Amino acid sequence: MGNGFRSVTRAFHVLLTVFLLILGGLISGCGSSETRVESGNRTGVFHVGNATEPQSLDPHVSTGVPEHHIQLAIFEGLVSKHPTTLEPVPGVAERWEVGEDRLTYRFYIRENARWSNGDLMTAEDYRWSWERALTPAMGNQYAYMLYPIKNAEAFATGKIGDFSQVGVKVISPQILEVTLNNPTPYFLQLLDHHSAYAVHRPSIEKHGSPTARYSDWTRPGNLVGNGPFKLTEWKLYRHIRVEKNEHYWDAENVALNAIMFYPTENLTTEERMFRVGQLHMTKYIPLDKAPVYRENDPDSFVNERYLGTYYYQFNLSREPFKNVKVRQALAFAIDRDALIKTVLNSSVTAAYSLTPPGTLGYQPPKLVGFDPNKARKLLAEAGFPNGEGFPVIELLYNTSEQHRKVAVAVQQMWKDHLNINVNIVNQEWKVYLSSRDQLQYDIARAAWIGDFVDPMNFLDLGLSDNGNNRSAYSDPHYDYLIKEYIPSATTPKERLERFFEAETYLMEAMPFVPIYTYHTMFLRDKGVKGLPANLMDYYSYKHVTLGNDEVADNAVTEED
């Protein structure tokens, strides 16, 4: 019997050994291979972490940043952006003329601008595409980016049904004329938004109705774009591959052969992928890794200001927030510097205004510094000396470790400086959105990321009829300032002065408490060149080169 047991044990041990040998064999075969970054440098393939699986590559359907980062490779706007300054630069249009009334724009389309299948691009492509983008049945959530165009809003909301009444006119195959409702200084910027991209009519119509969301036209092999790259592979939740488009008008200046986009919604995994050479560039970096990279690998760590504001908003339909002094008291009791240093690893900038400073040369007013004495005084004037009688209020945020940390810190500051009790409440993203929409909160965490570089994009949040306001703040005078007073400014300087005036008015009413200005933080291999970080996280891939590990010069010169 003892022998029998031994033989069985031996048999199992043999099995186990075989299993381990197989495993060992598999492992040993893997160690020596070249990393993706190394092979990418050799073959001109750029490997990029891109946050999430794109919902769609149809520019009139998609809404997210990851989608836009792929669209920037496969489409190009009528007007493009300078990779560093974000100033408008020629795209599909080689030049444009602006009428003296600042209402009429004439765009001259390049004669060598072609679709990725070789078809010539014409002004009619834009007229048809913008009609598609604005057609109500399309359900384009960014249709409003085209609203500065005359009658565009009326068409998009079904008030008029005839697109010929919209201010888009084909003068000749190469000339497109656009008429605006009002002078709009940021209009050219909007033309680089995906909602304003041209789409290829024959390939869309071949795969179904032009306005159908459920269509195969965006699949590899079907999608015809006009950018420096063309879509060649789309493996769901694995990667998207785009390759150099030989029909692109500036193809000779495109250095990369291909870009691979990986959906990397898990930040920790993305950082690991970067660390072992699977990615040239990440989309984000886990907050707790920021100090580590800043210390040990500063050349790979990118941290630049971003056109976005993190703020808290009050529900003005509820007591005690109807009282402006209560709102101001709470705003003055937040020590932003301490918050950023202790909770946010010094990776963002304190915000004292809704509009990020430096937006198009605009310097906003600074009205809400940390001043606990003033905060206590204001609270007393509101009828709550030393916080007595102040109700227990709730601070709502969407589930996220970072939001929680900020909320806990602010909760403590309000307790310490104002002696008031705050409960912090987290909700899952969609539940939180629904609560904010229906004003089911006291104070809520919120954020606004600019769609274009102009203070208007931030300050119109305070409009009574802006769906993004969500605070019940409504003031006819502020509406007047935004809708009439600012647009009637005659010079850029005067316009900025009026923005300052409007923002001062808004910050005194304090429906929103700015906390910090976002930073874009990510990791980039030292060999990646020609991809500067900028305010809008905007990428111009055609300037990118991959190379050795010397510190990259990511400043793109004016000639670029």
Partner 1 sequence: MLNFILSRSMQSIPVIFVVITITFFLVRFAPGGPFDDEKSVEPEVKAALEAQYRLDQPLFSQYAAYLGDLAQGDLGPSFKYPGRSVNELIATGFPVTAELGLYAILIALCIGGISGVVAALKPNTAQDYVPMSLAMLGICMPTFLLGPLLILVFGIWLEWLPVSGWGDLPGDKILPSFTLGAAYAAYVARLSRGGMLEVMSQDYIRTARAKGLPERVVVLKHGLRGGMIPVVAYLGPAFAGILSGSFVIETIFQIHGLGRFYVQAAFNRDYTMILGCTVFLATLIVVFNLLSDLLAAWMNPRLRSQLGGNQ
In the region spanning residues 267 to 286, those forming contacts with partner 1, defined by CB under 8 A, are 268-269, 272-273, 275-276, 278
Q: State which amino acid sits at residue 314.
A: F
Q: Which is nearer to partner 1, 205 or 550 (CB)?
A: 205
Strands of the 175-179 sheet, one edge to the other: 93-98, 104-109, 175-179, 168-172
Binding flag, residue 376, partner 1 (CB under 8 A): no
Q: Which is nearer to partner 1, 74 or 176 (CB)?
A: 74
Binding flag, residue 465, partner 1 (CB under 8 A): no
Distance of CA 291 to the CA centre of its chain: 24
Binding flag, residue 5, partner 1 (CB under 8 A): yes
Q: State which amino acid sits at residue 430.
A: K
Binding flag, residue 12, partner 1 (CB under 8 A): yes
Using DSSP, how many helices (H) and how many strands (E) does the chain show? 17, 18
Q: State which amino acid sits at residue 526.
A: K
Binding flag, residue 468, partner 1 (CB under 8 A): yes
Element (H, E) at 514: strand 512-523
Q: Which is nearer to partner 1, 144 or 500 (CB)?
A: 144
- Greatest Cα pair distance, the chain, in angstroms, is 104
Give the one residue of 27, 100, 252, 476 binding partner 1; rule: CB under 8 A. Answer: 27
Binding mask 159-188 for partner 1 (x = CB under 8 A): ------------------------------
Binding flag, residue 551, partner 1 (CB under 8 A): no
Positive or negative, the Cα torsion across 23, 29, 30, 36?
negative
Q: Which is nearer to partner 1, 7 or 423 (CB)?
A: 7
- Tell the smallest beta-carbon distance from residue 518 to partner 1 (Å): 13
- Tell the smallest beta-carbon distance from residue 261 to partner 1 (Å): 13
Give the one residue of 359, 435, 457, 471 binding partner 1; rule: CB under 8 A. Answer: 435
Binding flag, residue 110, partner 1 (CB under 8 A): no
Which of 74-82, 193-201, 429-437, 538-546 is the region at the interface with partner 1 (rule: CB under 8 A)? 429-437
Q: Which is nearer to partner 1, 266 or 386 (CB)?
A: 266
Give the one residue of 28, 373, 490, 557 binding partner 1; rule: CB under 8 A. Answer: 28
CB-based contacts of 426, cutoff 8 Å, min separation 6: 396, 397, 398, 399, 400, 403, 404, 407, 432
89, 250 Cβ separation under 8 angstroms: no
Binding flag, residue 58, partner 1 (CB under 8 A): yes
- Tell the smallest beta-carbon distance from residue 449 to partner 1 (Å): 8
The helix, strand and coil proportions of the chain, stated in percent and rounded to the nearest 5, come to 35, 20, 45
- Tell the smallest beta-carbon distance from residue 214 to partner 1 (Å): 5
Q: What are phi and psi of 330, to 5 degrees?
A: -65, -35
Binding flag, residue 156, partner 1 (CB under 8 A): yes
Q: Which is nearer to partner 1, 99 or 158 (CB)?
A: 158
Binding flag, residue 401, partner 1 (CB under 8 A): no
- Tell the smallest beta-carbon distance from residue 6 to partner 1 (Å): 9
Residues 187-216 touching partner 1, rule: CB under 8 A, are: 213-216
Binding mask 445-464 for partner 1 (x = CB under 8 A): --x-x---------------
Binding mask 111-140 for partner 1 (x = CB under 8 A): -------------------------xxxxx
The residues with which 97 forms a beta bridge, in sequence order, are 106
CB-based contacts of 228, cutoff 8 Å, min separation 6: 73, 76, 244, 245, 248, 250, 251, 254, 541, 542
Binding mask 231-270 for partner 1 (x = CB under 8 A): ----xxxxx----------------------xxxxx-xx-
Q: Which is nearer to partner 1, 67 or 335 (CB)?
A: 67
552, 101 Cβ separation under 8 angstroms: no
User: What span, in angstroms and rounded, lies between the C-alpha atoms of 257 and 245?
Assistant: 9
- The SS3 call for residue 93 is strand
Write the secondary structure of 333-367 as one string of H (helix), E (strand) and C (coil).
Answer: CCCHHHHHHHCCCCCCEECCCCCCCCECCECCCCC
Give the one residue of 337, 428, 494, 508 binding partner 1; rule: CB under 8 A. Answer: 428
Q: Which is nearer to partner 1, 12 or 480 (CB)?
A: 12
Query: Per the structure block, which two tokens stand in for 248?
Result: 């692109």
Q: Which is nearer to partner 1, 158 or 298 (CB)?
A: 158
HSE (side-chain half, CA atoms, 13 Å) at 79: 18
- Tell the smallest beta-carbon distance from residue 37 to partner 1 (Å): 12
Binding flag, residue 388, partner 1 (CB under 8 A): no
Q: Which is nearer to partner 1, 112 or 157 (CB)?
A: 157
Write the secondary structure of 116-143 as one string of H (helix), E (strand) and C (coil).
Answer: CCCCECCHHHHHHHHHHHHCHHHCCCCH
